[in-house]
Amino acid sequence: MLAIAGGYFSYRADVERAEAALREAVAVAEENTIKVLDTHQLVAARIDDLLAPLSDDEIRNQEQLLHEKLGQQISGEPQIAAAWAIDAAGHELVSARVYPVDRSMDQSQRDDFRALRNSAVPIFIWALRARDLVRDVYQPYFTVTRRRQSPKGEFRGIAVVSVSGAYLASFYRSLLQNSNDYTARVFREDGAELARYPAAEDGAVQLEHDSTIAAALADKSPGGMIVDGPDFGGLGHLTAYKQVDDYPVYVAITRTRASIFQEWFGSMTRYIAIGTPAALGLMVLCLVALHRTRREQTALAHARDAIAQRATAESRLHQAQKMEALGQLSAGIAHDFNNLLTVILGNVAMLRLRLGGQDVQVDEFLASAVSGCERASQLTSRLLSFSRNEPLNPQPANVNEVIGGMSDILSRSLGKDVAYEILPSPKVWLVFADKNQLENSILNLALNARDAMFGQGLLVIQIANRSLAEDTALQNLCIPAGDYVVISVTDTGCGMSVKVRDKAFEPFYTTKEAGKGTGLGLSQVAGFAASSGGTCIIESALGQGTTVVIYLPRFPEEASSADSNETQTSSGDALVR
Ligand SMILES: Nc1ncnc2c1ncn2[C@@H]1O[C@H](COP(=O)(O)OP(=O)(O)OP(=O)(O)O)[C@@H](O)[C@H]1O
Ligand SMILES: [Mg+2]
């Protein structure tokens, strides 16, 4: 589209240049034609001057002498075909080229004779085709004819200087450098042609009348440009024309639009020939540059990803080290605390032996001391499970079955307004884990969900098999690549802020009011997943619910018998309360 518009504008510019060149050429042609007409008018004036003092009879008597004198007048002007004088009756008096003249021939019907006899204008330019006596062909001629008159202004005849049209044509030939794309013409103001280059091919005897020029000249314009043919393409012409000084004569130079079109077409072809490979080269360069930039961008993005992953891994490591330290600390405390509880429980047992059954109130005090010790013992057990120091009893387990068997406890713990769904995986892989710890984990997550949903909402537990590729496993989860059973526990609760999510796994971190939460629920889940060789992550945003995902590695003994193509599965028989 751009190329077409560019081509059109370049053609318009070529046409404008051609018009300017034509105007210049026509100005030069006018200058020259003025000189030609002035020169021949002068010759006619000299003839008139020579004959003026003599009567017609005297002229006839001295014809030979005058013939020679006239011959001298035009001797240096080969373009002058003839120069002669005619008397008031239309008969030839004397000629520069012919002696004696044929006086019998009546020339009173000539255009120039009639024009000058009937009006007082001094000069008449006449166009004609006449026989070239030497070559015996008709040639274009023009005459510069002067009115001969008495001092009182009476008509005495005419002095005629006849010039060969070929003389003007030769000048135009050199002006137009022999080109066939141009035509130069000299017109009288009525459109009759005085000279033309190149000469008319048919050698026609009739003088031509150019209707286009005649129409343009009708309004007596001193010059202008005639444009014919359609705006674009090789049809039509451009013609610049100009009046020759004050003479009733015009010069016109015409150029064919075909030649402008061809010139334009040639340069366009050259541009295309040179421009196309250049444009293609540029395009290739651009593509290479684009490709390189894209590669660099990809590399940059990879580098950024790598930096981000490294930062994540570092923060995970940092978190893991913190948990480890906390684990060791809490394990130490839990052990000492357990020992102390054992001592307290032992002593309470001794007191029961001595004082039991004597006083009801004492019995109540003792019972309450025992239950307090039991609750404290549960707490230490949770602490130990987080610190992974609690003895685990791992065994091959079917997660579908373990979680499916928790319907009762889930119903009771969640309350009547929280619905839940269990979506087991149809061909779930076995895991190697402590079933009690797994149940504990699910229960902890369910209780958290209940609290987050303020006792109302939907809890979904989905079980699926998933094979983790190297990049996902290591980069996002910091666990080895391989097959995992994935348990996702999703609620429609309040969700967590980023700050809460980052701290939620820390032991004793709770947002619940004092006495309502210990902050050990999620630490237990994380401790269980880690000690089973897996991991646990939280996906949550404030106001958008929470999903806690536990990854447990597939039990290797069973790996071969399972369907290795199966990856994540979310369908299956849902256990819905
Ligand atoms: N499903 C959840 N939705 C929104 N926030 C949660 C969810 N689970 C945990 N949290 C946030 O994480 C904190 C830590 O949870 P965690 O289970 O470790 O302790 P807790 O529930 O506060 O106490 P505990 O479990 O010992 O009764 C919670 O206090 C709560 O702010
Ligand atoms: Mg909890």
What is the whole-number distance in angstroms between the Cα of residue 448 and the centre of ligand 1? 5
For a ligand 1 pocket test, name from 413, 447, 448 the mutation site with the most ligand atoms within 8 angstroms of its C-beta. Answer: 448
Say what the pLDDT of residue 559 is. 47
| Ligand 1 atom at shortest distance from the alpha carbon of 509 | 14
The predicted structure's pLDDT at residue 449: 96
- The first and second tokens of residue 374, run together, are 């039991």
pLDDT at 204: 42
Q: Is 452 in the pocket of ligand 1 (CB under 6 A)?
A: yes
Residue 447 CA, ligand 2 centroid: distance in Å: 6
Which ligand approaches the C-alpha of residue 522 most closely?
A: 1
Check pocket membership of 506 for ligand 1, CB cut-off 6 A: no
479 CA → ligand 1 middle, Å: 24
Main-chain dihedrals φ then ψ at residue 519, nearest 5 degrees = 80, 20
Rounded distance between C-alpha atoms, residue 83 and residue 79, angstroms: 11
Please work out whether the CB of residue 379 comes within 6 Å of at least one atom of ligand 1. no
Query: Nearest 5°: phi and psi at 463?
Result: -115, 135
Ligand 1 atom, smallest distance to 382 CA: 26
**Residues flanking ion ligand 2, Cβ below 5 Å:** 448, 521
Q: Ligand 2 centre and the CA of 501: distance in Å?
A: 13
Nearest ligand (C-alpha, residue 509): 1
Helices (H), 356-455: 360-386, 399-404, 407-414, 435-452
User: Any idea what DSSP says for residue 542?
Assistant: T
How many Cβ atoms are within 10 Å of 525's Cβ, its own excluded? 28
Ligand 1 site, residue 476, Cβ cutoff 6 A: no
521 in contact with ligand 1, CB cutoff 6 A? yes
Quick count: other Cβ atoms within 10 Å of Cβ 151?
6
Nearest ligand to the CA atom of 385: 1
CA-545 nearest atom, ligand 1: 3
* Full DSSP string of 486-541: EEEEEE-S----HHHHHHTTSTT---SPTTT--S-HHHHHHHHHHHTT-EEEEEE-
pLDDT at residue 474, as a whole number: 61
- Which residues of the chain have a pLDDT value below 70? 1-2, 133, 200-216, 385-391, 471-476, 557-577
Find out whether 138 and 164 touch, Cβ atoms under 8 Å.
Answer: no
Question: Taking the CB of residue 208, how many other CB atoms lie within 10 A of it?
Answer: 15
Q: Are 157 and 88 in contact (CB under 8 A)?
A: yes
Report the predicted TM-score, pTM, of the whole model to 2 decimal places: 0.47
Kindly give the distance from the C-alpha atom of residue 344 to the centroid of ligand 2, in angstroms, as a whole number: 29
Ligand 1 in contact with 504 (CB < 6 A)? yes
Residue 396 alpha carbon to ligand 1 centre in Å: 29
Give the chain's end-to-end CA distance (angstroms, integer). Answer: 68
CA of 519 to the centre of ligand 2 (A): 6
pLDDT at residue 465 in the model: 96
Give nearest CA residue, ligand 1 atom 28: 510
- List b or e across 59-72, with b for residues whose CB sees 16 or more CB atoms inside 10 angstroms: bbeebeebbebbee
Residue 512 CA: which ligand is closest? Answer: 1
User: Ligand 1: does its nearest atom lie under 6 Å from the Cβ of 7?
Assistant: no
Nearest to 261 by CA among 226, 238, 240, 235: 235
> Per-residue pLDDT tens for 478-503?
788 899 999 999 999 999 999 999 99
Using DSSP's 3-state secondary structure scheme, residue 397 falls into strand
Cα distances from 438 to residues 213, 379, 443, 444, 549, in angstroms, run 109, 18, 9, 10, 13
Return the pLDDT at 388.
Answer: 57
**C-alpha neighbours within 13 Å on the C-beta side of residue 546:** 23
Distance from chain centroid for Cα 251: 52
